[in-house]
Amino acid sequence: MQSTQATPEDKMELSAVTVSSRIPDFWRDQPRLWFVQCEAILGPQKLSDEARYNLVVTKLGKEVVEQVSDILLKPPESGKFEALKTRLMTVYEESEMRQFQKLLSEMELGDQKPSQLLRRMRDLARDKIPDETLKIMWQSHLPSSVRAVLAVSDVQVLDKLAAIADKVMETSRPIQISEVQASPSTSSNGDHAFILAEIAKLTMKINDMERNRNQSRNFNNNRNRWRSRSTSRGRNQSRRTPDSPNWLCFYHHKFRGRAKKCVDPCSWKNDDHRQEN
């Protein structure tokens, strides 16, 4: 009996079927993650652009196909896979503003673990919010008993805090279910807005106080300099001419009451000068 060997075309077709079975249907709510998984599966296969394009098309539902119908009916001559990917990402990927809105007002713990909620919030934040800010936002969605444990913890790494929160939730699940509110984000957002407003007011007051203090200090410094110049001018004017009734000799002009010598004419013996000293 003669055995038949599979042709290269048969092997390629079998490979395409195997790869296709490993790719899930397109995720409209997570197109970026879907393409990450899809390309991870397609990468090692070294398939042509046409084959990759056709595999993606087979994973699209009716509503999705309607969004890319022009590309399917008249695909570009080259770069078909990238053209299809770009269109799907444009249609189904949420804008950064929309993701930020969800991060602020649509996050709830629900039945998730704290670590799962954190991963979802990080996915929405996309590295544009620092961990310190994200930690405050994340903890605002946790039950008070969990927040109390995290508050006294010396752990600072956010992922490790999430692991601690998971363990606390596991040991006190019945109590925490009753504490989780339906929409904690509304009140927390209001509190955050109020706190930010109060901080802004305090900052303005501090700036005004600092500005007034600097102005007062400058005024006093200027007044002291003016007095010093006035006193100096008065002393210098007393030596303009020897005929002046307030003329002082060199020694008393320079050393005042500490002078050891006196040269006439000199009015130091005048009571006004001695009282001035």
Rounded average pLDDT over 73-85 = 93
Lowest mean pLDDT among 79-93, 126-140, 202-216, 233-247: 233-247
> Is the model more confident about 203 or about 237?
203
Q: What are phi and psi of 269, to 5 degrees?
A: -65, -15
Rounded average pLDDT over 148-172 = 85
Dihedral over alpha carbons 80, 82, 85, 90 (to 10 degrees): -110
Q: Give me the pLDDT at residue 267, please.
A: 79
User: How far apart (Å, rounded) are the C-alpha atoms in residues 67 and 31?
Assistant: 14
Residue 121 pLDDT more than 90? no
Task: Establish whether the linkage from the previous residue to 265 is cis, with ω within 30° of 0.
Answer: yes
Lowest mean pLDDT among 26-35, 100-109, 143-152, 254-263: 100-109
Residue 140 pLDDT more than 90? no
Q: Give me the pLDDT at residue 95, please.
A: 65
Q: Give me the pLDDT at residue 238, please.
A: 45
Evaluate whether 166 touches 181 at the Cβ level (below 8 Å).
no
Q: What is the mean pLDDT of the chain?
A: 75
Q: Give me the pLDDT at residue 182, please.
A: 44
Place 62 in a pLDDT band, splitting at 50, 70 and 90: very high
